[in-house]
Structures are given as C-alpha cells and as structure tokens.
Amino acid sequence: MRNMHIMTKMNSFPRTLEQASTFLEVTQAIVSAPTPIDLLRAFLQPIGDEQSSGCLLAVVDPAAGQHSDEAIQMMASFEPADSAMSIMAAGTWTRKGDVALMDSFLTNPSIVQYYDLSTAAARERLDPASLQWLDERGVGSVGVIGLRHPAGRSIGLAAICWQQPRPFSQDEYALYEHLAPMMARLTENFRDAEQRVRTLRLTEMLYQANRHLIGAKDYDQIVDAVFRGVSQSQAAAVSMLTVSSDDAGVPEWATVIATGGASANFGLQVGTRCDLANHPSAQSWINQPDGLVLVADTANDGRLDEASRKLLLENGIQSVVCVALLRPSAWNGALLVCWDQPHLFAPLDEQFYRALSGQIAAILENYQLRQAEQQVIQQLAATNSELEAFTYSVSHDLRAPLRAMDGFSKILIDKYRDQIPEEGRRYLERVRVNAQHMGSLIDDLLTLSRVGKRVMAMAQVDMTNIAYGAFYEAIIDQEAPPARLVLHPLPAAVGDPGLLSQVYVNMFSNAVKFTRGRPDPLIEVGADGEAQGLPVYFVRDNGIGFDMQYADKVFGVFQRLHDAKEYEGTGVGMAIVSRIINRHGGRIWVESAPEQGTTFYFTVGGGDAGSGG
C-alpha cells in the first residue's frame, strides 16, 4: 500500500477521452469561479466527497508580513457539518513559521503530496510540530497541491483532508499537476484583489480617523477620532495612556487619560494606573523603537509575560494593539486599541497602525504646543490684569497727591511769596516742576497702556493729511513754527486714524525738540520705496542725532539718550510709537549719526497684530 506518493509530472496526460473531459470540466469550473471558496471546491471536486474538508492558503509577500516571517492567509475553507476535523477558518492570518505543517508543504518542491497518517512511514516524514497540528484537527490523511508562480516562488497550497486514509490515484496526480499552474495564477489574482479591497478599506479608516484628528483639541477628542476609524474593524475600545519614566528613561507608570468606546468594560477608566515594573511585556512595548505591537490572541501570544496576560484577560481584553507615542520634545504615552475577542491581523493592518501612530504623534505634538501657547497666553493675561490694576492705581491714587503737591506749592508761592525766603521759593518751584514732570510721566504711561488695550477702528487713512495735522498739533504751544516742514505726498494706509496721528505727533515732538537751536531746523516727511510689499514712511530731521550703538534704547520705556536738563521729555514717546506700529502689524527702525540728524522709518501692515508690543 502506498503511504505517500510524490510523483513527477506525466507528460502523457490526458491519456483517455474521459480524462480529457474531466480536465476540461474542472478547468471550466476553476476559471469561472466567482469567489475563493468556489475556486477551492471546483479545484478539489475530483477527489473531494462529503467526508472531506478543504482549505486554500495564500502566501503574502514577505516584505508585507508581520515580524520576520511570511504571513499566510487562509483564503477559503470548507468542512462537513458533522465533521470531527477542525481546520483554520477562512480569513485567518498567521505566520508561516508558526505552523510547521505549512512551512513543510510550502517549501516542498513537489507539486502533489499525499500523507496517510495511520502509517509510521508517513508520520516519520513529517516533523513533530506538523503531526501535532494535524492530529489536533482530527486529520487521518491529507493531500496537498502546491501552487507556485512561474518564476518559482510559492503562492500557497490547496489541501484536502480526510478522517480516514484516501490515497491519490495516478490519474489524480497527473490531473492536479496540470491544473496547479492555472490554480496558482487564479489564487494570486484573488489574493491581490482582496489585498486591494483591504487597502481601500484601511485607507478609508485612516481617512476617517485623520479627518477627525485634524480638529481634535484635547486628548478625549483625539481618542474619539481614533475610535471612529478603528471601530470599522470591530474594535471595542480605545484608550490613551500617559507614561512616566525614571531618570534613566525606563517607563515606570502608565495612567489612562482618555477613553473611547466601551473602555469601561475593560477596566480602562480615566485615572486607572498600572505599575509597568510588574508588567515587563507592556513596559518593553511602550519603550521599543518601532513603537507598535499587535496581539491577535491574548491567551496564546508567546510575547506576553504571565502578569501582563493575566491583567489583560481579567479585564476582558482578548486582542490588543499597543501604539507607543514617543515625542522627544514633550510627551511619552501609548494608545491601546482593544477587542473583546481574538482579532486576526493582516500585514496591511500593521501598516495602517504605523500610519495612524504617525498622525497621532504629530497631532499630540501640535496639541502640546497649543497647550504651552495657552499657558503663555494665560500668563500674559494675568500680567496684563496686574498692569491694568497698577494703571488704575496710578490714575486714581497717585495723580491726586501730585496735583495737591503742585497746587499747594503754587498757593504758598503766590500767597506767601513775601514771607518765604528766596531759597524756599526756589525749593517750592522745584517741587512743582518735579510734580508736573511726574504727572507727565503718569500721563504717558497711561497713554502707553491705552494703546495696547484700545479697540482699533480700521479705515483707509490719508497719511498726507494725518501728517499735516499732526505737525501743527505738535507745535500748537509754540509762538512761531520751531522748524520748517517739508511734506511730500504720502501713499494711503489702512489703520486706526487716531493712533497713526499719534505716531506723527510723537515723532514731530521728538524732531522739534532735537532740532532746537540748529541754524535752519528742518523736518522732512515722505515715503521711500517698499518693504515686504508695504510703503516705507519716514520722518527725517537735521537735529543733533545720536550714536547708533544706542539705537536699541530709542523705543524703550524711560530710555533717554540726552540729558533731561537740556531736552525735556519722559522717555516714553517713542515707546508709544513703537507699540502703535506693532499693533498695525508694521515695523519701525531708525538711522542716525551725531550732528547728522535722525531718520525714523516705519511700515503699516493694515491689520491688528494684538495688544502685545
């Protein structure tokens, strides 16, 4: 009795009309099969019966596989309802190395193989793992037809199993050797078509997740966006964990910070903590460089330590994906996608979760930046609130005493002039001058504060008229014009007319002050070219000028470049100008040289750039 047949191709097939008829009939059924299960039934029809079970295994390209082994998909399977045999279900994915039987069959160069497991000779030809795999499924004999690409690589195999011995005839060997190349091409077509469909489905899942991730503003919304995507794969829950590490960077604690789906059913409520030191598998997953682990069957995955396996199973997690979220700049954590039953992963699933983890990491990075920005905004708001309180205090608490000091000093001088010695009157005059100077400082500080808080009334501004009016406002208290004005036509700008007028008033006051005493004091106003598409306005004088090494002090508060005894002022005027220009989204700078005059340049952006300045 033949225990195992490995026969070479019979070139004389078919030898009879009956064989030819069978060959044509099976060929027609194979090429017209609409699904993999129909293809399998048609292919195994000549040797199948009501007591047999069949399976079709397709090999996926190693580059797309999980880990280092080729991934294998069970494309189709059938077995009688009352069969004691149990083969892998259609849709199952596994690794070739995990099932030694598959490894043996797929690497065997023979096209057709038959094993009668009731004989010692056949059992000796199989490795122990393959025998165990077959015995566990109640298989008594098995016929295997290898499916190979014309280039020689394995496409997969078609196998038929019986509970009792059922050897192949020579005609059956010959038939399948002739049919196998055609079967291989069709199997590959079905496999590739299924891959394309799965790719489209995963792309849709990724699109749905990304579409909601883009608008996510916190951890809960990020998790919800991910769940919207992965729920199409029957995922039951998604949870996000933040991970704290020791000084050496080893993860110590994982804490749930957001959940989606039925997370509560898996013991994953917000605030749940896990000591990773007691769960080395989870600790290594979170800390590993590639950052992704897919566990198809928690109960049987050999990568899990017993403590981690127990923790997952006690909480009903039968399958899980762990996505490590490692961002060196801000935050470390992990994302868990959980199933309440074993979930079989295809190679494309790994690519999907890697792409998703990249998107989540980027969103988290942006979220962290937004959080940091929000903290800065809150700190600035608190600082501004304190400044407003100070401004109120200055306005109401300090000005009244200053007015009293100035007023009472004036009364003493006017009413008791004859009774006060000359030195005493001189002291009182100094009190008045300093009180008035302090009042001016307070007024300028209040103006500076109001510039930052004022709601801007944007409009098209005639800069020529604004400058002309501002010049005469600046010299209104002078008996005669203290300087000659040369005003060139200016391009219009978009801005707040009142604030832009204040810019010119302060600049003209500055120019008038520092041209005083010059032989022919001159102030020239115009526009000179563009900067970043905006007109560059300038105010130029032929005053005393200054050394450019001190240019950075010009726009600071209380910064003075000249002696206050010679040139009055508070040192706030140009700070006000700078803040107004900044609020308009523009830029201001200065050029000067001692005894060569000074030129201020500025642009007006036409938009409110905020109250900071």
pLDDT, tens only, 364-395 = 777 777 777 888 888 887 777 777 677 666 66
CATH superfamily of 454-602: Histidine kinase-like ATPase, C-terminal domain (3.30.565.10)
Alpha-carbon span 56 to 147, nearest angstrom? 10
CB 80 within 8 A of CB 53: yes
- pLDDT average, residue stretch 597-607: 85
**Stretch (H or E) spanning 503:** helix 497-515
Q: Which residues are 146's β-sheet partners?
A: 157
Alpha-carbon span 158 to 179, nearest angstrom? 12
Confidence (pLDDT) at 463? 93
Domain with CATH 1.10.287 in the chain: 364-453
* pLDDT confidence band for 1 (50 / 70 / 90): very low
**What percent of the chain stands above pLDDT 70?**
78
Confidence (pLDDT) at 414? 82
pLDDT, tens only, 166-206 = 887 888 888 888 888 888 888 888 888 877 887 787 788 87
CATH superfamily of 2-197: GAF domain (3.30.450.40)
Q: Which residue has the tokens 């195992």?
A: 4
Confidence (pLDDT) at 492? 92
* pLDDT confidence band for 464 (50 / 70 / 90): very high
By mean pLDDT, which of 96-100, 169-173, 249-253 is the weakest?
96-100
Domain with CATH 3.30.565.10 in the chain: 454-602
Category of 316 on φ-ψ map: left (φ > 0), alpha (ψ -120 to 50) or beta: left
Q: Which residue has the higher pLDDT, 369 or 598?
A: 598
Q: Of how many residues is the chain composed?
A: 613
- pLDDT average, residue stretch 61-83: 58
3-state secondary structure of 587: coil
**Do the strands 251-261 and 273-275 form a parallel or antiparallel pair, or are they unpaired?**
antiparallel
Alpha-carbon span 43 to 143, nearest angstrom? 13
**Stretch (H or E) spanning 311:** helix 306-314
- The b-or-e profile of 542-565 (16+ CB within 10 A means b, else e) is bbbbbeeeeeeebbeeeeebeeee
Name the phi and psi angles at 77, rounded to 5.
Answer: -155, 155
Nearest to 568 by CA among 395, 444, 392: 444
Domain with CATH 3.30.450.40 in the chain: 2-197, 219-345
pLDDT, tens only, 7-21 = 334 445 566 777 788
Residues 6+ apart with CB under 8 A from 201: 232
Confidence (pLDDT) at 62? 46
Is this structure's pTM higher than 0.75? no
- What is the average pLDDT score of the chain? 77
Alpha-carbon span 225 to 151, nearest angstrom? 45
Q: Which residue has the higher pLDDT, 12 or 1?
A: 12
Q: Which residues are 145's β-sheet partners?
A: 112, 158
Q: Which residue has the tokens 């078919």?
A: 14
By mean pLDDT, which of 23-32, 49-58, 91-100, 343-352 is the weakest?
91-100
Asked if the peptide bond before residue 80 counts as cis, ω within 30 degrees of 0, the response is: no
Alpha-carbon span 543 to 554, nearest angstrom? 15
The one-letter amino acid at 318: Q
Nearest to 112 by CA among 44, 173, 182: 173
By mean pLDDT, which of 47-61, 80-94, 190-204, 406-420 is the weakest?
80-94
CB 298 within 8 A of CB 312: yes
By mean pLDDT, which of 159-163, 248-252, 333-337 is the weakest?
248-252
Q: Which residue has the higher pLDDT, 479 or 373?
A: 373
Architecture of domain 219-345: 2-Layer Sandwich (3.30)
- pLDDT average, residue stretch 521-546: 88
Q: Which residue has the higher pLDDT, 506 or 399?
A: 506
* pLDDT confidence band for 453 (50 / 70 / 90): low
Q: Which residues are 241's β-sheet partners?
A: 256, 334
**What percent of the chain stands above pLDDT 90?**
7
Q: Which residue has the higher pLDDT, 357 or 601?
A: 601
CB 472 within 8 A of CB 509: no
CB 283 within 8 A of CB 251: yes
The one-letter amino acid at 574: M
- pLDDT average, residue stretch 290-314: 84
- pLDDT average, residue stretch 313-335: 76
* pLDDT confidence band for 602 (50 / 70 / 90): very high
pLDDT, tens only, 113-143 = 888 889 998 888 887 877 887 888 888 888 8
CATH number corresponding to 364-453: 1.10.287
Q: Which residue has the tokens 């165990």?
A: 132
Nearest to 271 by CA among 282, 259, 283, 281: 259
Confidence (pLDDT) at 540? 93
